Amino acid sequence: MLALSAAAGLPAAAWAPSGFAQDATGGAQVQQLPSITVTGAAEARPDDTPPVYAGGQVSRGARLGLMGNVDMMNTPFSVMSFTSELIRNQQARSLSDLIANDPGVAVGGPWYFDNFYIRGFEVNRAEIGFNGLYGIASSEGVQLEGIERVEILKGPSTLINGSSPRGTAGGSINLVPKRAEDTPLTRLSTNYMSDSNLGANVDIGRRFGQDNAFGVRLNAAYRDGNSAVDHEKQRASNVTLGLDYRGERLRASADMGASNQKITGAKSNFFVAAPELPEAPRGDTNLWPTWSYQDKDYVFGMARAEYDVTNYLSIGGAFGAAETRRKMNTPFGVLSNTDGDVNFFPSALEEKNKTRSGELNMRLRFDTGPIKHTTVLAVTDYDSKISNYQPQTSWSAESNLYDPADLPEPTGLDFDRPLTPLSSMHLRSYAITDTLSALDERVLLTLGMRHQKIDVNAYAWDTGAFESNYKQSANTPAVGLVVKPIDKLSLYANYVEALSQGPVAPTTAVNANEVFQPFVSKQMEIGAKVDMGTFSTTLSAFQIKRPSGFLGADNVYRVAGEQRNRGLELQVFGEAMRGFRLLGGAAWTRAILTDTPGGQFNGAKAAGIPTWSVKLGAELDIPQVPGLTATARMIYTSSIPFNATNTETVPSWTRFDLGARYATKISNHPVVFRAAVENVFNRRYWDSSPAYQTVTYAAPRTYMLSASIDF
């Protein structure tokens, strides 16, 4: 049909319709013409989910915000998109488990809080995107049962994603919800995690109507029991529902869900007051008492739609809202000396975070001579209101890393009080991008500008009284270039700026929770991507600059000087040879402080960033036993600066994981059995450093089993 319209001089559709039906009944006699076979590929829509890459662990592309879904070879950024198949096969329970596959990303705290570092800069859990919008994903720990893809974009992403709550300079994370596929799905899974945590989940997908236009995807999960850590219990429930419609011109979707997580006796961070960091305790040791807990609830809803007004003009929009509530009574520990003595102080909180987020966009496609243009106009809006109550008491207790004491429960903590305002934030931005392509997409140039506005109010944590307000706006440009000199090679470069909310003083500082003025981060990056069809590599070099904050000797947190992160990243994924898959890579990062007051810390390494990070996973199909696959993964992190003067470091560490899975059929139903052991050698180490002098110790050897059956 496209060939016929072109021969007649008529414009062909920019995107081929997803399907059509023709009524051939009629009274007139019809002459049978010879059959003609036309081959070709329909141009992908920007809302089409990129296909899975060879090996099934990652996809060929990712969503670049207002630019829609883009193939990895056409993207002027470093991106990685992990699939639901990888989530199932690795039995990932949290984003922290999945992040263990990316060398450019590090965990920044306890596993039940989704705080990460990308390229050495913190990504706060409140700024994880959901289907292209901020503020919809849970800010208290994402559960993965309803997630199809986890996309990671490296570098400042303000232009394409809009203003994020913290405006991270290192990168962004976006969650893609599951959608019903054309093949009906009913999958029941059961799982076990040592010591005795049991769970089950069901995944149901159906499509209805003409051309399967309507889709429904339901996921429900529950697990409960003890973990591998002494007297730590984890209970979690999660329900998500995804609806979608795919027509010839209209695509629409809606997502909603609710979850709860309760963790008792959960390990947390230590603030280290000792002059040196002592040896890490055993992973199953737990200094936190049985009465301590984190109880978190989450509910959300979101809708997105796009309509093709003509073959060249599309309009779209999205809106969503979410609410998270957290109630906790978890004492805060200060490691006081090299003997491992810990002083505990009360830390209780009840908090509610209400967010809403929206986007409107218009996409126009046109040609100017031999150059094709895709121009996008977009506006994003984000609003959040956080209220809290922090009960106070004079309780204190002592324990030891290697000989934990039974801590008495504090008295006088009154949770029966109304919550008071803590902060409110309103972000709005306007963006325009134009992607120019020439020479059959061998050269792509993206130019863009986003005007950002930030309006933040801060309130006293104890009374809710208004304390301060700041408003700031900025124009932040971005340029991205892709050149494909040969079919399998893509060279890219980018320059990106992003307006970021100022940092917040840590709770250990004299000026705890003080919010600082916004600032602009800047990134330059060059890279090369090689796609051999079943195996791909990406090599990138980057530099990111942003103002830095540090905790002074007087325990006052200040923003002064600049942090400059330079690095190299190598990523590999896919099927290196038939039946053998690799996923991971290596990252080298040089993060230093410059222009600090009086040059006091000039040249010092920045907090929480290892020079080397290596993560490499492998899967091998065993040919002698069809359906059997052996898995292994190695994670290495070099030493990390422990204090601002860099006189002490957190030691380097290495972890090994092993596993296997077996796919077969029982009564003609596909069944997969999975087994894994994390931290096989039960290594003891400090595994994260979210800030100077704050550490977390690693989990012990952990066994995981699961079985799934498709009906």
Higher pLDDT residue, 378 or 504? 378
- Is pLDDT above 70 for 692? no
Calculate mean pLDDT across residues 273-293.
92
pTM for the whole thing?
Answer: 0.89
User: What is the reported pLDDT for 547?
Assistant: 84
Please provide the average confidence, as pLDDT, over all residues in the chain: 88
Report the domain count for the chain: 1
* DSSP H or E run through 304: strand 293-308
Cα 336 to Cα 277: distance, rounded to the nearest angstrom: 10
Q: For residue 101, which of 619, 488, 609 has the smallest C-alpha distance?
A: 619
- Is pLDDT above 70 for 688? no
Cα 490 to Cα 532: distance, rounded to the nearest angstrom: 11
Calculate mean pLDDT across residues 169-182.
92
The 10s digit of each residue's pLDDT in 427-465 is 999 999 999 999 999 999 999 999 989 898 888 888 888
**Partners of 529 in the β-ladder:** 490, 538
User: What is the reported pLDDT for 2?
Assistant: 36
- Is pLDDT above 60 for 575? yes
Kindly report the number of other CB atoms within 10 A of residue 641's CB atom.
Answer: 22
Edge-first strand order for the sheet with 694-697 is 397-400, 341-345, 332-335, 270-272, 694-697, 686-691
The answer to whether residues 451 and 520 touch, using CB atoms and an 8 Å cutoff, is no
In a domain, 678, yes or no: no
- Tokens 């399907």 belong to residue: 19
In a domain, 328, yes or no: yes
In a domain, 574, yes or no: no
- Is pLDDT above 90 for 16? no
pLDDT > 70 in the chain, percent = 91
In a domain, 681, yes or no: no
Cα 610 to Cα 592: distance, rounded to the nearest angstrom: 11
User: What is the reported pLDDT for 507?
Assistant: 66
Calculate mean pLDDT across residues 198-213.
96
Omega of the bond leading into 195 within 30 degrees of 0 (cis): yes
Cα 531 to Cα 467: distance, rounded to the nearest angstrom: 54
Cα 683 to Cα 203: distance, rounded to the nearest angstrom: 35
In a domain, 368, yes or no: yes
User: What is the reported pLDDT for 218?
Assistant: 98
User: What is the reported pLDDT for 157?
Assistant: 74
User: What is the reported pLDDT for 140?
Assistant: 84
Cα 232 to Cα 284: distance, rounded to the nearest angstrom: 9
- DSSP structure string for 57-105: SBBSEEE-GGG-EEEGGG-SS-EEEEEHHHHHHTT--SHHHHHTT-TTE
Cα 47 to Cα 159: distance, rounded to the nearest angstrom: 18
In a domain, 244, yes or no: yes
Cα 437 to Cα 444: distance, rounded to the nearest angstrom: 4
Calculate mean pLDDT across residues 60-89.
91
- Is pLDDT above 70 for 8? no
Cα 75 to Cα 384: distance, rounded to the nearest angstrom: 31
- Is pLDDT above 60 for 679? yes
CB proximity list for 207: less than 8 A, separation 6 or greater: 180, 181, 182, 184, 213, 214, 215, 216
Residue 101's pLDDT band (boundaries 50, 70, 90)?
very high
Give the phi and the psi of residue 701 in degrees, each rounded to 5: -55, 130
In a domain, 676, yes or no: no
Cα 595 to Cα 602: distance, rounded to the nearest angstrom: 6
Residue 114's pLDDT band (boundaries 50, 70, 90)?
confident
- Is pLDDT above 60 for 209? yes
Among 171-175, 203-207, 537-541, the minimum mean pLDDT is found in: 171-175
Residue 289's pLDDT band (boundaries 50, 70, 90)?
very high
Calculate mean pLDDT across residues 669-681.
97
- Is pLDDT above 60 for 643? yes
User: What is the reported pLDDT for 159?
Assistant: 76
Residue 248's pLDDT band (boundaries 50, 70, 90)?
very high
The radius of gyration computed from the CA coordinates of the chain, to the nearest angstrom, equals: 26
Helix (H, G, I), strand (E, B) or coil at 158: helix
The answer to whether residues 149 and 52 touch, using CB atoms and an 8 Å cutoff, is no
The answer to whether residues 346 and 395 touch, using CB atoms and an 8 Å cutoff, is yes
The two three-digit tokens of residue 142, written as one number:
């994402």
The 10s digit of each residue's pLDDT in 363-414 is 999 999 999 999 999 999 999 999 999 999 999 999 999 999 999 999 888 8
User: What is the reported pLDDT for 691?
Assistant: 63
Calculate mean pLDDT across residues 225-250.
96
Supply the range of the domain harboring residue 442: 174-520
Q: What is the CATH number of the domain that holds 506?
A: 2.40.170.20
Calculate mean pLDDT across residues 654-658.
97
In a domain, 342, yes or no: yes
Calculate mean pLDDT across residues 188-192.
97
Higher pLDDT residue, 20 or 317? 317
